[in-house]
Structure 1
């Protein structure tokens, strides 16, 4: 009987420590000031569905060199970290990643200029 009680308490503690995950959608928009020779614009990041090994492609949305993608995360965190890429090369070399704070509403709009850190 004592073993069953310990097992029940153990199971309760294990499952009560799991952080609840929420859908967080981020609309990333980036301007590429020097667009000559650009063949691809992407984003990489810490949290699925993004990763640091492969670009998620941004699509050009106008003739002013603005690119955009919508990414939906399933996460318990309040932020993520990303970097944009141009032709597969990272921006902000030897600088910190961009920190994107999630809006409590579940939809965040993040605007940036390629290779310029946020103030």
Structure 2
């Protein structure tokens, strides 16, 4: 009887661990046009999947002063999407009272370019590889 109990536990553990999906590397390059925003400061992104967080802002940079702020992130994910929003002045969220932005993933490694304008829900997403 004890042997049957141990075998049952082992089978349950094996079953549960075999259901884990493989994670795939995702590289996402965000390009955010802030040209229509007066005095953009501490432009960033917040979201639901590490390295994004709703509690901490990842700052974007505009190294060539063209008004387009950029950041690239890498993540390992088995999920099919991420949700996020851009912020200005650290905590002023765009698209208030609107759904979060999202990117849907394929179940494979991907490099994605996400281009949009602050406070405009339309975006262009390109799969680079």
Q: Same fold (TM over 0.5)?
A: yes
Structure 1 stretches of 5 or more lacking a match? none
Q: Superposition RMSD on alpha carbons, in Å?
A: 1.6
Match for 2:118 among 104, 114, 119? 114
- Contact (CA 8 Å) 1:102, 1:108: kept in 2 or not? no
Displacement of 1:3: 1.8
- TM-score, normalised to structure 2, is 0.84
Structure 2 stretches of 5 or more lacking a match? 124-129
2:31 corresponds in structure 1 to: 29
Q: Give distance in 1, aligned partners of 2:64 and 2:105.
A: 26
- Contact (CA 8 Å) 1:25, 1:73: kept in 2 or not? yes
2:66 paired with 1:64: yes
2:129 paired with 1:92: no
Match for 1:52 among 41, 51, 54? 54
Displacement of 1:4: 2.3
Aligned length: 119
Q: Once the two structures are superposed, what CA deviation does each residue of 1:28-68 show, in whole Å capped at 9, x if it has no partner?
A: 11000234322211000010111111110101043320010
- TM-score, normalised to structure 1, is 0.90
Displacement of 1:73: 1.3
1:18 corresponds in structure 2 to: 20
Instruction: List, as ranges, runs of 4+ consecutive aligned residues in structure 1 with deviation greater than 3 Å.
Output: none
